[in-house]
Amino acid sequence: MAERISVNVTLIFSCSATPPLWTPISRARATAAGRDLSRSASVASFFVSRVDTEVDARLDELATTAASALRGRAAVANAVLAFAHHDEILASDRWARLDAAGARPQRPLWASTGVKDPAYDDTRYVVDLVTAGVVNTMPKATLDAVADHGKLRGDTVRGCREEARKILDALTAVGIDYHRVVTTLEGQGAAKFTASGAQLATSLAERLRIPQAQPETPDFR
């Protein structure tokens, strides 16, 4: 960021993760170096639906009434708390100084917003996470569903912090280890990204080994 390179901080699952914190640091360095802060941007990709997939599986193993009542509630609550953390940083004096210097705020990006469980409404990770200043990377099926029958209810993130905290507290009360959930998801995500990167590198290496066709020598006779 200090070199004006726009970045995507990805594979974030924990609502207490602090990727926005390093952004003011790097931008402060850029300010000191006299660089134009308005020319770089950043997003923090926070994964949504996979949280419900992992938590729901653990709730099903508990097989209690209290656990069943919490199915499908973890992901949105987790994202709401992550956004609240983001808002706290943007309300800080440190950010105010950078804002005055022309810095662009890092935007939360909702990733993995396609519904994995067919029992859930196919627009839930969009309509339940609407607020200003975020990006939602919807799969095409989700985008089509929202365009067709999504029911927007205004801002469904700001002002929902306390309810979201209650949901995560309730999950802890029934025996869900939040730290273990997000650590598991981060590990799974990193493994998938690493595998994809290795596959890409292999494909590129194979393509680069293909003999290149020699250009024909023009005949000027």
Q: How far apart are CA 151 and CA 138, in angstroms?
A: 16
| Range(s) of the domain holding residue 54 | 39-181
Residue 77 phi/psi, 5-degree rounding, is -60, -40
pLDDT tens figures, 70-82: 999 999 999 999 9
Q: Which residue has the higher pLDDT, 153 or 208?
A: 153
Q: How far apart are CA 76 and CA 205, in angstroms?
A: 41
CATH of the domain at 135: 3.20.20.70
Is 150 among the domain residues?
Answer: yes
Is 7 among the domain residues?
Answer: no
Closest CA to 56 of 40, 73, 43: 73
Q: Which two tokens stand for residue 82?
A: 């992550």
Is 200 among the domain residues?
Answer: no
Indicate the pLDDT class of residue 115, thresholds 50, 70 and 90: very high
Cα 70 to its chain centre, rounded Å, is 22
Q: What is the mean pLDDT of residues 157-175?
A: 97
Is 71 among the domain residues?
Answer: yes
Q: What is the pTM of this model?
A: 0.84
Is 11 among the domain residues?
Answer: no
Rounded (5°) CA angle 139-73-109? 40
Indicate the pLDDT class of residue 28, thresholds 50, 70 and 90: low
Is 187 among the domain residues?
Answer: no
Cα 124 to its chain centre, rounded Å, is 16
How many domains in the chain?
1
Closest CA to 64 of 182, 177, 185, 173: 173
Q: Do 38 and 44 form a contact (C-beta atoms < 8 A)?
A: no
Share of the chain above pLDDT 90, in %: 61
Q: Do 22 and 90 form a contact (C-beta atoms < 8 A)?
A: no
Mean pLDDT (the chain, rounded) = 87
Is 210 among the domain residues?
Answer: no
pLDDT tens figures, 127-148: 999 999 999 999 999 999 999 9
Is 188 among the domain residues?
Answer: no
Q: Taking the CA of residue 95 as centre, how many other CA atoms within 13 Å lie in the half-sphere pointing to its CB?
A: 14
